[in-house]
Chains A and B, each alone.
Chain A
Amino acid sequence: MNAAICRRLLLTALLSALAIPVAAQVRIIQTNSQGDNIHLIDPATNQIVGEVKGVPINHGAAGAPDGSRLYFTSEAEQTLHVVDGKTLQVTKKIPLSGRPNNISISHDGRRVYVGIVSAPGAVDVIDTTTLEKVKSIPTKGGIHNTYVTPDGKYVVAGSIAGKVMTVIDQKTEEPVWTLFQEGVRPMAFETNADGSTKRIFVQLSDFHGFAVVDFAQRKEVARIELPNDVPPEKVDKGPFNASPSHGIGVAPDGKTLWVTSRPNARVYTYSLPDLKLMPGYVDLGGRPDWVTFTPDSKRLYIATENTDTVVSIDVAARKEITRIKVGKSPKRNITWVARGTS
């Protein structure tokens, strides 16, 4: 073997070793809003492969971008629980300024933004280095959900009580603009080619559909109602927490928008960017709450809170794959890339 071949083999071995120091594993993190546990689902097998315990009445979930940690809010203890990404053990509970709802995390993983639903409302800012609350951003009304925009530049907070969506500059952590005079529920984000936010699709209280917000214009440009295509005798009459449409997501490839209906127990698909309703739907068998996609846009997971299940859906075929039994009243879910956990 000559020296050139030896060098090439050595280089190949070195690059291989560097490329696989820790296997990245995609996990669907499913909270259980009436329990104290959270389930980790492997989307490759649709099996539960892990469980976080000790987070009573859990609500929001976020994963550190480097896979090292998970964060969950506990409405019961009014804390942010910090969970080790490998052992899945709670390592710290951070006191919050009030009762929390949903959370989001900055792209660099240094900040967790916690929606505080207790009056008067706030977004608590958690420094993930010191693991302490460093700021409470006052809001008009309690905050139900927070999001970090896909480009990482803004934090968007929705208030049901305050009937407003507040856009906060991520760097200054100060509000920059607001919109709506209706209760603001889940949201999904569409991006421009450069990654900046193009439109936000917003679900609203007592509206069976979603509003379309042009981010640059800072205004609502359309409102789309979901189909009423279920026979009256089969329509679920609720109650739906005044939120007949709860659960919305843009597939990571940006090609489709998926919107759930509680009365119809279905998810509908709209093509992007034209927002045309695609034919058909997927039956969910219960009241949907939240949606999350795998990073490759191949699978969608929808929590149905009154059946204690998560529905796994083939995105391309727009067909149910299976239903996964989880804990009590599953609601928020996220997709997380774990490093070396179960």
Chain B
Amino acid sequence: MARVRFSALGSGFWSLGVGAAALTIAILSVPSGTRAAGPEDELPDGEGKKILVSSCTACHDLTEVTKFRGYYDRKQWRDIVVTMMDYGAPVDEKQVDILADYLATHLGKQ
């Protein structure tokens, strides 16, 4: 059986090996309960996000909202909020404009 002499493989091999080991340790160090990043994580914090997460995800995934990223202006986002309230989304009147502002700012047409 041929034996590989590590020295013959050069310093690049060692760099690769150290990198792979570090990556393995890093992966193994991640707690098993850690979840993958979702659309919620991509959105900045704020009052609007709290309303968004609490009122929308009871009925559907957040991707049903983020799929409209870049397409709607504030008026159209407000229309979505009002339509969803008609569907039964637990958003009160005071929250409508906060949520519409948030959606227009972070997912709105640029």
Contact = CB atoms under 8 A, between A and B. Distances in A.
A161 B85 CA distance: 8
Contact of A56 (B71, B76, B82, B88): B71
A178 interface: no
Contacts of B61: 239
Interface in B43-66: 57-61, 63-64
A118 interface: yes
B83 interface: yes
A77 interface: yes
Nearest to A35: B67
Nearest to B80: A99
B92 interface: no
Given A34-B67, A57-B71, A77-B71, A161 B58 contact: no
Contacts of A142: 83, 86
Contacts of B59: 239-242
Nearest to A242: B59
B12 to A, nearest CB: 39
Which of the listed residues A77, A99, A183 has the most CB atoms from chain B within 10 Å of its own CB?
Answer: A99
A329 B50 CA distance: 25
A158 interface: no
B68 A57 contact: yes
Interface residues of B, number: 19
Nearest to A243: B59
Contacts, number: 49
Nearest to B89: A242
A160 B87 contact: yes
A117 interface: yes
Task: Give the interface residue-count category, chain A.
Answer: 20 to 34
Contacts of A119: 79, 82-83, 86
Interface in A76-119: 76-78, 98-99, 117-119
A141 interface: yes
Contacts of B83: 99, 117-119, 142, 161
Contact of B57 (A78, A239, A242): A239
Contacts of B58: 239
B99 to A, nearest CB: 16
Contacts of A76: 68, 71-72
Contact of B76 (A99, A162, A240, A242): A99
A57 B63 CA distance: 12
Interface string A10-36: 000000000000000000000001100
Interface string A32-56: 0110000000000000000000001
A303 B17 CA distance: 45
B87 A161 contact: yes
B104 to A, nearest CB: 15
A98 B79 contact: yes
Which of the listed residues B57, B60, B68, B86 has the most CB atoms from chain A within 10 Å of its own CB?
Answer: B86
A322 B82 CA distance: 40
Given A99-B76, A99-B80, A241-B60, A161 B67 contact: no
A75 B60 CA distance: 17
Nearest to B63: A34
A118 B79 contact: yes
Interface string B25-59: 00000000000000000000000000000000111
Contacts of B64: 241
Interface in A202-231: none
Nearest to B109: A76
Interface string A183-198: 1000000000000000
9 contacts: A33-B67, A34-B67, A57-B67, A78-B76, A99-B79, A119-B79, A161-B83, A183-B87, A240-B59
Q: Please provide the 10 A-B residue pairs with the shortest distance between their CB atoms, ordered closest to farther.
A: A161-B86, A76-B71, A34-B67, A241-B60, A118-B79, A239-B60, A239-B59, A242-B59, A119-B82, A241-B59
